[in-house]
Structure 1
């Protein structure tokens, strides 16, 4: 092997090693933003516990932009009754009952669906429609004994 080839191979190896070290240092600095969640993998119990706690509504003092759902009713919370979640293949809705009737707190379409229409209330009846994949799902809700329930027309 002549001197030129040896210098070319040595230069290539040094450049490759330097680029690899710089890349590893960058990933180490960025950390969880690239490699995943800082807390690691959650168990089924952790997920169930996190889902059982309602997200803050749009008037709550501790609401953060990162936790903002796809749809949220405007105005301050008016809850005097229970909050209850409803799930369809098209999406999910969290509703609560108050002195002015039922109110949709948040709604979120499922992957592949979008919100077609939303009447968040408060009113005697509220509804949210999700469309996608050739299907349409409508959740129509009302209050019964201060608890949100699906309307009998569903």
Structure 2
């Protein structure tokens, strides 16, 4: 009886091994078989060089980064591109408000900070590729309206 059991176990193991070989190689096809180093080398030789995507060259910006400027009445962030300046943002100090602005890009940009009767116009231009600000204060002494 033990001999019959051993024979049945051996036959079952043999059938299982053959079945796995058939499933791995024949039914599902050779794509499920691991590739040897030679297979990989042959596959790489058949790939034309033009199908390999080229890495883009890193781009560098010639424009300087935006620069923050603290001026009487608030703060401005400006950026130059050649001789053109653009006001990226501005924020008035407490008690001030924005009365008028010219964002650019232009040879000069400006923003007017106002606090009661005090107006401070900031004119920004580009010098050597960097934004520079100049302030012009107008103490109107309570005069309202435009002349």
TM-score, length-scaled by structure 2:
0.46
TM-score, length-scaled by structure 1:
0.44
